[in-house]
Structure formats: C-alpha cells, structure tokens
Chain A
Amino acid sequence: MPRRTHPVSALFVLLLAPLHAQPEHDRAFAQSVRPFLATYCVSCHGPQSPAAQFSLSAFTSPANFLNDARRATQVLERLEAADMPPKGAPQPPPAARRDAIDWFHAVRNNEIRRNAGDPGTVLARRLSNAEYNYTIRDLTGVDIRPTRKFPVDPANTAGFDNSGETLSMSPTLLKKYLDAARETASHLYLKEDGFAFAPHPMLAETDRDKFAVHQIIDFYHQQNTDLAAYFETAWRFRHRAALGQPAASLADLARRHNVSPKYLATIWQTLEIPEPIGPLAKLQAQWRDLPKPQPNQPAIARPGCEAMRAYVANVRKKVEPRFINITAGAIGTAWQPLLIWKNTQYATHRRTFDPRQLQVQGEPPFNQANVVEPEWDNAFGPGKTILVENPSGDPDLFVPAGQRPRYEAAWARFCSVFPDMFYKESRGRNYFKTGKDEGRYLSAGFHNVMGYFRDDQPLSELLLDEKQQATLNRMWREMDFVASINIRTYVEFAKLGTRGTRDDFKDGEPEVGDIEVDQIVSEPKLRKLEADYLKFANGGSPVAIQAIKTFFNQANTSIRWVQQARRDAEPAHLKSLLEFAARAYRRPLSPAENDDILSFYRDARARSALDHESALREAVVLILMSPKFSYRVDLVEKQRAVQPLSGYDLASRLSYFLWSSMPDAELLRHAAAGTLQNPEVLKAQARRMLQDPRSRALAVEFGANWLDMRDFEQIGTVDRARFPAFDDALRQAMFEEPVRLLLDVFRRNRPITDLLLAPDTFVNPPLARHYGMPPPAGDTNTWTHVPDAAPYGRGGLLPMAAFLTKNAPGLRTSPVKRGFWVARNILGDQIPPPPPSVPELPADEAKMDLPLRQMLERHRANPSCAACHARFDSFGLAFEGFDPVGHRRTHDLAGRPVDAHAQFPKGVEGEGLSGLRQFISQHRQPQFVRAFAGRLLAYALGRSLALSDGPLLDEIAGQPSLRFETVLDKILASRQFRNKRSPL
C-alpha cells in the first residue's frame, strides 16, 4: 500500500526542550536494557535489512528513545503484548521482559511529566494544496481550485498533509504557484466600488460579455413573474384564517411562496377593489369564484388561478400596442438609431394598450389596411410590423355605444397592472417571430453587429423593491463598466459610418478602418457622425430626427459616464486592493506593507506601462505569491521558548483546523480585540464555525486522511466489466457517505463512538440501490438520512462501501487490507510494514482453489507472519459478507458460501459486522477514542504527536461523555493548541 510519506519527515520529530534522562535510567539502560535489546531484538532489527524495516541499532542511549517517541512506543507495545520476539525465536525470561518494560515506562513517564502539554514544534509551512484552494475560494468568493494541477502533497507520520514536516517548496512548485496566482488574478474584474472575482477568467471580451449578460439574465430568472403564483398567494391571504395562518400578512405569504411582496400587494388591491366594467371585472368574477380551502387539498385553487392567468394573457394580447417602423430621408428602418427608437417604443409602452382595438358599438372598425409601413418589402427586416388583428364581435373587446372613455380608463387600469411582458430577455431581427430569438440574450436585434438593449421596465416598476432596482441598475451599468459594451457597440456602429446596417443598398461616406477607440468615441467624432447622419436624414419626420439625436445623445452620455466612472473608481480599487491584501495575509497590514503594495502597483503602471486594471492584477499576483499569504508562520518572540499565539495566529490555527481555510471577518474581529485567548470565546467560535458550511472541509480533509480515502475519488482498481454497477456516480456517492456521517457527528455533537457503533448512515439514490435500500426520490444530489440501516447490513463507518472497496484489490476481497485498516486507522494500532518477500495471493477470487480464509490461515502458521497478522486478519474476515465493491453477498466469486466468522484477539469469537462491533465496544472502545482524539489533535496542530501529548489524550479518553464537542473543547483548551514553542 503506497503511503504518501516523505523522507524529510523523520528529521522533524520532536524538537523539544533539551532531553534529560535521570541518572538511574542511564545506569539501568547500560546494565540491563541495552544487553536485553542486543540479545533478543537486534539480531532481526539490526542495521542490515532490519525486519519490518525497524532497526534498533541506532538506539544506544535513553535519549535516542526519547527523541523517537513513536518507535519507543512500538517497542514497549510489542514487549507488553508479548508477541515480540516472535514465536520460535529465543524468548527472554519473564523477569527480564518485565524489567525492560518497567524501564521503558519509567523513562517515558519521566519525560511525559516533564513536558506534558508542551506545544511541540509546529513548523512554518506553506498552505497545503487543499488549503490553498479553500482559501482562494473564501478570499475571492469563487471556487477556482488553482492547485488542481499541483503534485500531491505528502502526508506526515500522523497521516495528514497539513504540517511543515512534509510540506516543502521547490522552484518547480514555485512556478506552479505563479501560474496559480495568475489564474486566480485572471478572474478579477473591476467594479464601481472595488473589485471582485468572476467564476471564469475575465480576460477575453467574450468572457466579460458572458459575465455581464448572464448576471442580468440570472437576476431576471430569479424573479417570479408567474401570475398564477400571485393569484394563488392572494387566495391564501384571503383564506389565511381557514388555512391556519390568521396572523399572516401579505408580505409574509409573499416571502413564503417566493413571489414579489410589492407586486402581490398590487395584485391584491387590483382583485379586491371592485371594477364594474372591462377585463378587470371579468377577472374579479373568476377570482371570487375560486374554491374555498378544503382539508388535504392544498392545491385546490391552482386550476382556477391558472385559468385567470390564461385569461389575462389572452385578453392582453388583443390590445398590445404596435409601432410602425420609421425612416428619415435616406436613412432606413434598420439603421441603428431608428431601430433603437422602435425598441424604445415597445420597452416604454408595455403597461399601455392600443385603444384602437376596442370595438365600440356604432364606431367604424379599426381599418388595418390604412396603415402603411415604410420599407414594407424590405427582405432584410428589422421585421415587418404585423398588426394585431381581432375579428369583429369579440366579446372581450366589446364596448357599449358612447362608453369609450369609460372603457379606455378600465383597460388602462388593467393593462397597467398586467403588462404585455415583464422583460424581454432576447430579441431577433424579426420582431414578431420570437421563436427565432432564443438565446440572443438582451440583444438589440441589429443585423451583423453587436448591440444590447434594456427592456425590463414593467419588472422594475411592478415587482422590484428599491434595493432590487438598484441591483438591476448596477448590473446594467456593469454591462458598460465591466464589459465595455456601450463603447464596443458604438465603435462597431461608427465604423459603418453613415452606411447604417444596410451598406449594400445605401450610399454614404465610409469611415476609415480601425483607429484608436478613444478617438472614435470622442465627443467631436461622435458629433461629427451625428451631423452626417442628420444630413442624410434631411426631410425626415420630427420624430425620426429626434430619434437620431436621442441615439447619439444617449451614446455620448453613456460613453462619457463610463470613462468618468472608471477614473473615479480608481481610488476605490486601490482601497479594495489593500483590503484584499489584509484578508490574504489574515491580519491587518502595517503602514510599510500598505506602501509596499501601492508602490508595486505604481511601478507596474510606470515602469511596465501597464494600464490600471493590468497593474491591479499584477498586484494581486504579488499578494498571492507573498509568503505572507501562501505560508502560515506563527510569529513568536525569539527569546521565549513557549508563549501564547497571537490573536491572529490563533484565529488562523482555528480556521485552518475547522475550515482548512482563512479566518472570516468575525474571527478576525475577535483576533483584533484580543478575545480569542479566552477559552469560552474560542469555544463559542468553534461552535459557530462547525455549523458553517465551510466545516465540510474538516470532514473531507481530516476525515478522508484519517480514514485513508483521500484518493478514493480517483480509485481505478475496480474492474468495471466485472462490477458494472460501479460507475462514477456510485464512486462519488461512496466517497460522500463517510463525509456526511462525519459532518453529522460533528455538527450534531454526537458521541464519537457513533462513528463505529451507530445504526445510521446517509445515502443517495445510487448508493441506496447499491445497498439494496429503497432509493430516495431525486437525483444524485439528494441525500437522505437512514436512521436504521442495520437491516441492510450498514450503519456507521465500518461497513461503508468506500472502505470495503478501497481495501479490496479488485477481483477478490482482502481481509488483510480491511483488517489492517480497522487496526491501524480506526483503532490506532502501530503495525510495521510487511517484509519485502511476502507471498502473493491470487488476484482473482474466482480462480482460487481454497477460500481466502484458509489461505490466510496458512500464512499465519508462519510465526514471524502471525506476529502481525494475528492482530488484524480477524477484523477483515468479519467483512467477508461484502464483496470487492462492498456489496452484500452470501457467496464469493467462486460460488463458495462465505464465512464471516472471526476469532478476534484474546480468543473472542464473533460473527460478521455485528461481531466486530461487539468486540470493539467491549474490548477496544477506549483505544478507539484515544486514537481518534490523537488524530484530531495532530490535525488541529499541524504536527505529529509527541509523548508530551499523552496526558491530554488520556484525559480525553477518560471523559465520561465522549461527544465530539467534548473532544474538540479539550483540544481547543489545551496548552498545545493555544501556544507556540519557538523552534530550535
């Protein structure tokens, strides 16, 4: 099994205060312990190819053992368990063994007493790849994951990749850091009041367009414009008492049913203030006819509300205003100023109606034939204006003789509340064939050139509150501010000169080719083009002339605005830059650091001739490249060996522990106020942080490393031809299951023994099917809690498919790997690596002559193998009821019935998973708790454990309540967590 350990780690073990062995320990070592080791141990564990790669030859003084707590502990454990020396090797007399054990205890206890709770050496280190990604996410607000192409971080001896013991830097990696910083900075975009980061790079104009257009479209789509939803919510308000909410206000219901409170109030009034005539009178009749609430029929009013919606749509269509294309002199209907005029007419008349469509008794009918549109035969459009045709005798449009004014007023009220459209999200050239417009978001409908047009007046006026209006207005300004859409559109337009969009048919003066944008959009140039246009428009109607002037005035205003706004925003961007740096450095900047960043920005502009935005981007790269961002260095005064962490360092330690990411504003406020060293504050912050979505990182980063499944999402050992059910969705679900359970234990403060012994788990549809459970309704993102999974052979971590799959080599199970995983990862046993010459088991279970169980028995018959295998094989055999992908089974792949009986250590008999759980709960529970707490402590501190951590772990393991927060609180309150030892 490849472990991602790193040779450097051994160099960083325990740099504690100078080591002192007591003189009597030195004497005893020389007189009895060293000869004991020489006699019984070193023949195998000597300098030349030591057994289990475990050499004792360098251990020539007590200090050697103190220096290497892990090995010392292993020697002691094996001597106590009496499985070393192995059977068959010369055995020491019991008294000699006893003496050696006592010596180890005495030395160890002495050391532990002296150093209990020592902070140990927590090295300065770079952020791990995972931490870098999470930190960038929280720093920028977008999940860029710039380290996805970095090499995998190695783990330390505690199994975690978050310590200076193994995280190193190299020139090759540094270059990847540069790439990562540049990639992150490429997402930056400038706003009027600072800068932000988009979910995608913002360097290309198409990317900026996409961003600016989609934020508006997304905003539109978030608004509820379904009239039936408003009618139904109004109905709920009318019947609020009967529906059990007598105190509910309109606004309450609006929020609950996701409709605009403002528009709901309008609808309510419109329905409730009696209207004697016209379309509203008919709508109100339908409203009054809606059924009353009935028990168990929550949707009883829905069909009636949908009928009302259909009525509005049908009637509204009949009176929709239509605007005839205009021309002016030589300027045709499709030229941008006149097309914009037409767009504007529609956009500003959506809450009005065409009174000519009313069919008044005694008046001659509206004669369509009299309406003549210029360029009616223009094949290139901008779309002929198709007039609304209503057959005469339409009862909806009927007006009694002499009542036109009264009815027009009624129609105006109706149409004002019910616009013909709330917003137009796409537009084609062919105005009335909307099916062809799909996807041309916000388009102005120009021919062959870019152009956008805003048409959302009814939405803004009727549905949006002031804050939402401001948001939408800002987004439209950002079309120009972020994406330069007004300038680029105008440049395209100006390059056409006076040729409009129909250069094939009209003559005019061409502009020269590309020149500088600044010149093209300058006011003199713009006014010159306007004058040319007006010359060509000579003889046009006043409306058309005005339309041309308005077009140029608007272009001018908008271009001048964006030029000015960009200049005005520069100080805000620099302020934003310094704030960004402070958040990146996870502490306030010193005045010198402020100067450093600003001077870098100024240099980039002056020396490298970069524009404002590029220079800012360079400064962001600098900040991300600074070790102040990419390294975690706990600063201490050099003179003092042990001292409390500063507030900011403690904030980072806490946030990288629980979130694998930077501290948030609240944590930094506490750091600034100096309150974090108060254990109660620290505890309260940790509670809050656990409930935050970011604590998922604790489950993923701690959990997956602890349980050795970090690379499970890429696991490729499964033969998908033999196990077709194993697809990417199932693999992802397998990985997610333990993460969900861990989070549940963390966030609901469950006993940590629940991880092993509780009957519950979490499944999504693919995993439920794999487990033979009824799948929850929904897609793969639908996870559901299964309170009692025992009937399906599940519950807790042990039988999770991820571990059963990961610890099986493909076409057979592996009791060895599965058992080793339980012993090592769950129970914290120290087990040496296997010798290099272990016999290979056949790869395919279906091709074995004997059941795996019997092959393992043979292997254990060899005493030097049994020493280790006796400690874990039985745990793995208990899982024999699960196939290589963790599916429950009764027969193995060769068709033999499986036997999940196991003889656990110390002769305890058990059967399958329940037997294993029983064994752990009766014999190994404290060991599990201590191991879990030890792993969590190592992860929290970012270092390997030391002997001096023993008392804390003993204290935790001795707690009456073993809930997660108890473990967490003990760690947070520990000296280790809140202090730093100045490294040697």
Chain B
Amino acid sequence: MKTPISRRTLLRGAGVAMGLPWLESMAAGATPAQPQRFAVLFMGTGISPGRWWAKGSGAQLELSESLAPLEPLKAKVNVIDGLFNKAATGQGIHPAMTGNMLSGVPIRKGSIIQGGITVDQLLANHIGQETPQPSMVLACERAMTGFHETNFSNAYSSHISWQNSDSPVPNEMYPSLAFDSLFENGGQLRNASILDRVRDHAQSLSRAISGADKIKLDEYLASVRDVERGIERMRAGKQKAEEQARDAGRPLFAMKRPQDGLPEDIRDHIRLMCDIIALGFQMDKTRVASLLLARDLSALYYPFLGVSKQHHGASHYDTEPDYQKIVHFQVTQLAYLAQRLDAMKEGESSVLDNSVILFLSNMWSGTKHDNKKVPVLTIGGLGGKLQTGRALNYFESGDDNRKLCSLYLGIMDRMGVNLPGFGDATTRLAGL
C-alpha cells in the first residue's frame, strides 16, 4: 500500500503558499526593495476657504495659514486644487458627497447601501498579500447608521473605505485593538488556537480508525500541522528580525501597547492612531492604511481649541476663525504622521519618502455644502516615483481632466498597480 501523496509534496506546496515575511528576509541579510505604502486621511465637511492655498514650488513653495503645519515638510508635499468626484455631485448634501470619495462610483439611495471598492482596498487586494495584514482601516469617530434626509444612509458619511459594493470595511476605533491586530497577529493567534484544537480532534478520530481511512485523516492532520508551523515560523521570524535589527543598531520605532478603551481626548486618539500607522509601515506589517480623523457630519468637539461648536456645526461658518482652528488642528495631525514617517530612516531615505499620504475632505466649503472641487494634499514621494513640492491646480482644466479617480489611477500606477480604469476615470491625472 503506497501513501497517496508523499509528505514531501505536501510540504513543498506549503512552502510556496506561505512565503517569507519581509522582516525575516531582511534579518537574513538580504537587501530588499523598499516597500511602497499608501495612507489616506479624511476629514469631513471641508476646509476654511481662503485659508487653504499654496503658491510656487520646491523650497519656494508658499503655504497658506491652514497648511502652515506642513511647512517643515513642504518639499515633500503636493497641494492639489480643483479636483472633484462627479458621482458625488448633484445627489444631495453630506452622505451623498462622501460615500464614494475613494471609489468614484455612484452610490445608492435608500435602505440598501451600495457603493464600490475604494482605492485603498483595491491597493490592499494587490499589494496587501505581501504583509501580515492587507490593510488597516481606522477611525477616530464612531460610525453612524440610519438615514440622512437626502435618503442616503448615514453609513456613507461614516466610512471612507469599502471592501466591495455592499459593505464598508468596519472601522477600528480602539487603538489597543488596532495595535493587537497589527503586532500581535491577532488573527493568526486565533487561527493557531483553533488549529491546536482541531489537531486534537483529528488525532482522537484517527485513533478510532485504521488502514486507508487513517491515511486519509492523516492527510488532514499533516495539513493542520503544516499550517500551524507556518504560523509559528511567522511569529518566530518577527521576533528574530526584531532582535537582529536591534543588535544591528537599526532604530526600531518603539510603541507601547495603548490602553484598552477609547481615549477621552481626541488629541490622544488621533496621535495613537498615527503612531500605529507609522509603526505598521515601518515594520512592514501593512502597506495600506485609512484613517478617518473626523467623519462627515462630524460630532467631534474641540474644547481645547476654545471652540464651542461641534465640527459639523462649525463648518457651517467655515470662514470664521473657529473653523479655521479646527482645520489647522487636523492638518497638524497630518503633519505629525508625516513627520513620524520621515523620522524613520529606510536606507538612504525615509519611510515617508517611500510612501504617499493622501489627505482629503468631501467638500470645499461646508457653509455652502460645495463639492465642485475638494481639497487634496499628498505627502511623500513613493520612492521617487511621485514628484513633490508643488502646487497644482486643475480647476480650469475641464471636468474630464480633474477627476479624483484620475489621481488614484496615477498613484496606483506608481505603486505597480496598473489598471485600465477606476471609478469614473480611464485617464491618469495629467502633470501629476
């Protein structure tokens, strides 16, 4: 009686499927290509018009007061004016302006929500398989459901990342859980404890049977063991790589696990989320992140700014100093993340240089609920693939030449994901 499939075949198949974590190959002394990362940060209900502009380029780039926090990084920034998302116009205010920011497809009114996969998740599908976690989707404000009076679901206001046309990606609000899922390999640990039990099941069943039946079941058992070993290898690899990196004096950005629960102060909340993204990028735990700083219809308060209105309420007076304070605060958070990444050296450059952070809002003006154009910033050069330090304006280029989705196509191109079209665009943004 021959064994139906040799053990070696099983193991050979498994080795290919498992792959090696990036860190392990780094630890082994190879010099890997620096991975490219993508982060998108979103703030709802627009900026403070008149206080959001840039002029010139490079070292001469002049930034407006809202963008002042980016001053130290301005050579790595692009301020892109005049882009819009056609599917988000003319449908009604708020949720209808938000649910497709990153997908460019029309969204559906009424009780069945329907949108499209967003650029971050599409990237995660393409490049996310190379990291332990394909993407992280974080939020500093709780999601709403129910309906806005435009008959669009409030869910559109609360989620910027969609995994498919039916469901947004659930937002992670808890820094502690985001941390665990990224660094403790939460999912893998859970799989490990399931497989551990399943192995017991298979063994006890195997004891009760004989001959060829046993061979069939041992095939299962061998598969379980193999996957378990893969998980162990991954965890061991992480530890080993961390140790070697430390021994080699490579500065590994350290972060303590955040406390359970939600931070009461929005400032702490956003900083923790930015730290987790930074660390996740540096350790190549993930290459795609999305962070909702303040959702559309945001109910965040900023008492520490001396602003008594809620974010959304304040946006109805968007040229007043109060709203400017809020915008300035959020841009400061963006700058914090960018500086964190810039401080992480990666070869000759920094993690920021190998990344792109996209910042955008769903409106230009909250007072007018105007999204004929939306504010867009990029920070980081994608490993030299994206030129930076520029002020670009597409507002007069014609509607076909100022699509947000054209920008996404341009970014995806630079990350090795070449698609014929995305959302409502089939052309790349000219001059990006």
Kindly list chain B residues whose C-beta atoms are within 8 Å of the C-beta of A175.
17, 227
**Contact among A121, A168, A504, A626 for B201, CB-based, below 8 A:** A626
CB–CB A631/B217 < 8 A: yes
Given A512-B301, A627-B220, A11 contacting B149 (CB threshold 8 A)? no
Nearest-neighbour CB distance to chain A for B396, whole angstroms, equals 34
- Contact with A625, one of B14, B151, B194, B262 (Cβ below 8 angstroms): B194
Considering the complex, which residues of chain A in the window 508-543 have a beta carbon less than 8 Å from any beta carbon of chain B? 510-516
Q: Mark B278-310, 1 if CB is under 8 A from A, else 0.
A: 000000000000000000010111010000111
Is A859 interfacial (CB-CB < 8 Å)?
Answer: no
Q: What is the CA–CA distance of A636 and B208 in the complex, to the nearest angstrom?
A: 8
CB distance from A253 to the nearest CB of B (A): 34
Residue from the set B197, B214, B265, B266 with the largest chain A CB neighbour count within 10 Å? B197
Instruction: Judge whether A750 is part of the interface by a CB distance below 8 angstroms.
Output: no
Partner among A172, A450, A618, A627 whose Cβ is within 8 Å of the Cβ of B17: A172
Contact with B along A356-368 (1 / 0, CB 8 A): 0000000000000
Known contacts A175-B17, A503-B309; A214/B111 CB under 8 A: yes
The yes or no answer to B1 lying at the interface (CB within 8 A) is yes
> How far does the Cβ of A368 sit from chain B's closest Cβ, in whole Å?
27
Question: Are the C-beta atoms of A443 and B147 separated by less than 8 Å?
Answer: yes
Q: Does B216 contact A (CB under 8 A)?
A: yes
Q: Are B153 and A206 in contact (CB under 8 A)?
A: yes
- Of the listed residues A175, A488, A516, A636, the one surrounded by the most CB atoms of chain B closer than 10 A to its CB is A175
Chain B residues in 8 Å Cβ range of A213: 111
Interface centre among A483, A607, A608 (most CB of B within 10 A): A608
Structural contact, A169 and B211, CB atoms closer than 8 A: no
CA distance A628 to B220 in the complex (A): 12
Known: A625-B195, A627-B202. A439 touches B145 (CB 8 A): no
**Please, which residue of chain A has its CB at the minimum distance from the CB of B143?**
A205
Q: Which of A439, A513, A600, A622 contacts B300 (CB 8 A)?
A: A513
Checking A206, A515, A603, A628 against B264 with a beta-carbon cut-off of 8 angstroms, the contacting residue is A515
Would A206 and B227 be within 8 Å (CB), given that A512-B301, A618-B194, A627-B220 are in contact? no
Q: What is the bound-complex CA distance between A638 and B261, given in angstroms?
A: 56
In this complex, what residue of B is CB-closest to A984?
A: B211
State whether B166 touches A633 (Cβ < 8 A): no
Give the residue among A203, A450, A515, A627 with the most B Cβ atoms within 10 A: A627
B65 at the binding interface (Cβ < 8 Å):
no
In the complex, whether B427 has a CB less than 8 A from a CB of chain A is no
Contact A628 B201 (CB under 8 A): yes
Query: How many Å lie between the Cα of A923 and that of B188 in the bound state?
Result: 63
Q: Is A178's CB within 8 Å of the partner chain B?
A: yes
Q: Are B111 and A983 in contact (CB under 8 A)?
A: no
The residues of A that contact B310 with a CB separation of less than 8 Å are: 496, 499, 503, 510
Which of A204, A512, A604, A628 has the most C-beta atoms of chain B within 10 angstroms of its own C-beta? A204
Interface check A472, CB cutoff 8 A: no
Distance of A124 Cα from B310 Cα, bound (Å): 64
Given A428-B149, A514-B262, the answer on whether A206 and B4 have CB atoms closer than 8 Å is: no
Query: Which residue from chain B places its CB closest to the CB of A621 in the assembled complex?
Result: B194
Chain A residues 606 to 621 lying within 8 A of chain B, measured CB to CB, are 607-608, 618, 621
Instruction: Tell me, yes or no, whether A436 is within 8 Å of chain B by CB.
Output: yes
Shortest C-beta distance, A1 to chain B (Å), equals 25
B109 touches A439 (CB 8 A): yes
State whether the Cβ of B312 lies closer than 8 Å to any Cβ in chain A. Answer: yes
Q: Which of B215-258 contact A (CB under 8 A)?
A: 216-217, 219-220, 222-224, 226-227, 230
The yes or no answer to B33 lying at the interface (CB within 8 A) is no
Closest Cβ of chain A: how far from B77's Cβ, in Å? Answer: 28
Q: A11-B2, A170-B13 are in contact. Are A633 and B209 (CB under 8 A)?
A: yes
Name the A residues within 8 Å of B308 (CB-CB): 507, 510
B419 at the interface (CB under 8 A from A): no
Assess A172 versus B14: contact at CB under 8 Å? Given A210-B112, A449-B144: yes
Chain B, Cβ-Cβ closest to A496: B299
Interface residues of B in 132-162 (CB under 8 A from A): 140-149, 151, 153-155, 159
Give Cα distance in the complex from A165 to B64, angstroms.
72
Contact of A123 with B216 at beta-carbon distance under 8 Å, contacts A495-B299, A625-B195 already known = yes
Do A124 and B167 touch across chains, with their CB atoms under 8 A apart? no
Q: Smallest CB-CB separation from B198: which chain A residue?
A: A625
Q: Which of B4, B208, B265, B313 contacts A504 (CB 8 A)?
A: B313
- Are B197 and A596 in contact (CB-based, < 8 A)? yes
Query: Which of these, A124, A440, A608, contacts B216 with CB under 8 Å?
Result: A124
Instruction: Pick the contact of B146: A209, A438, A607, A635 (CB < 8 A).
Output: A209
B213 touches A983 (CB 8 A): yes
* Nearest CB of chain A from residue B397's CB, rounded to whole Å: 34
Look across to chain A and name the residue whose beta carbon is closest to the beta carbon of B316.
A504
Is A12's beta carbon under 8 Å from chain B? yes
Say which residue of B4, B142, B205, B226 sits within 8 Å of A627 (CB atoms). B205
B210 at interface, CB cutoff 8 A: yes
Q: How far is the CA of A937 from the CA of B5 in the complex (A)?
A: 27
Please name all residues of chain B whose beta carbon is closer than 8 Å to the beta carbon of A603 when the two chains form the complex: 193
Residues of B within 8 A of A600 (CB): 193, 197
B210 touches A172 (CB 8 A): no
CB of A564 closer than 8 Å to a CB of B = no
Q: Are A513 and B265 in contact (CB under 8 A)?
A: yes
- Say whether A251 faces chain B, with CB atoms less than 8 Å apart: no
- Against A, the Cβ 8 Å flags (1 = close, 0 = not) of B1-43 are 1101100001001100100000000000000000000000000
Asked if B375 lies at the interface with its beta carbon under 8 angstroms from chain A, I say no
From 318 to 374 in chain B, residues with beta carbon under 8 angstroms from any chain A beta carbon are: none
Q: A123-B216, A124-B217, A171-B227 are in contact. Are A206 and B193 (CB under 8 A)?
A: no
A633 near B217 (CB under 8 angstroms)? yes
Note all chain B residues with C-beta closer than 8 A to A124.
209, 212-214, 216-217
Is residue B50 within 8 Å, beta carbon to beta carbon, of the partner chain? no
Chain B residues with CB under 8 A of A633: 205, 209, 213, 217
B212 engages A15 (CB within 8 Å):
yes
- Give min CB distance, A587 to chain B, whole Å: 12
Q: Are B147 and A448 in contact (CB under 8 A)?
A: no
Chain B residue nearest in CB terms to A489: B146
How far does the alpha carbon of A210 sit from the alpha carbon of B112 in the complex, in Å? 7
Alpha-carbon separation in the docked complex, A211 to B297 (Å): 24
Q: Does B421 contact A (CB under 8 A)?
A: no
Q: Which residues of B contact A11 (CB under 8 A)?
A: 1-2, 4
The residue on A at minimum CB distance from B211 is A983
At the interface, yes or no: B418 with Cβ under 8 Å from chain A? no
Complex Cα gap A173–B173 (Å): 33
The CA of A448 and the CA of B297, in the complex, are separated in Å by: 7
How long is the Cα–Cα vector from A626 to B224 in the complex, in angstroms? 11
Q: Could you tell me the distance in whole angstroms from the C-beta of B376 to the nearest C-beta in chain A?
A: 25
Closest B residue by C-beta to A447:
B149
User: Cα distance A445–B310 when bound, in Å?
Assistant: 21
Q: Which residues of A contact B189 (CB under 8 A)?
A: 608
Does the CB pair A126–B220 fall under 8 Å?
yes
Which A residues from 1 to 44 make CB contacts under 8 A with B?
8, 11-12, 15
Q: Whole-angstrom distance from the CB of A911 to the nearest CB of chain B? A: 50
**Contact assessment for A204 and B170 in the assembled complex, using a CB-CB cutoff below 8 Å:** yes
Contact of B403 with A by CB under 8 A: no
Contact B216–A125 (Cβ < 8 Å):
yes
**B390 within 8 Å of A (CB atoms):** no
Using a CB–CB distance below 8 Å, which chain A residues touch chain B? 8, 11-12, 15, 121, 123-126, 164, 168-175, 178, 200-201, 203-207, 209-210, 213-214, 217, 428-430, 436-441, 443, 445-452, 483, 485, 488-489, 491-492, 495-496, 499, 503-504, 507, 510-516, 596, 600, 603-604, 607-608, 618, 621-622, 625-628, 631, 633, 635-636, 638, 982-984
**14 contacting pairs across A/B (C-beta < 8 A):** A124-B214, A170-B223, A204-B168, A206-B155, A430-B149, A496-B310, A512-B301, A513-B269, A514-B142, A627-B202, A627-B220, A631-B217, A635-B208, A984-B1
User: 8 more A-B contacts (CB under 8 A) besides A449-B146, A512-B301, A603-B193?
Assistant: A12-B212, A124-B209, A207-B167, A210-B113, A428-B151, A496-B310, A514-B266, A604-B193
Q: Which 5 A-B pairs have the closest CB atoms?
A: A439-B110, A450-B146, A983-B211, A171-B14, A124-B213
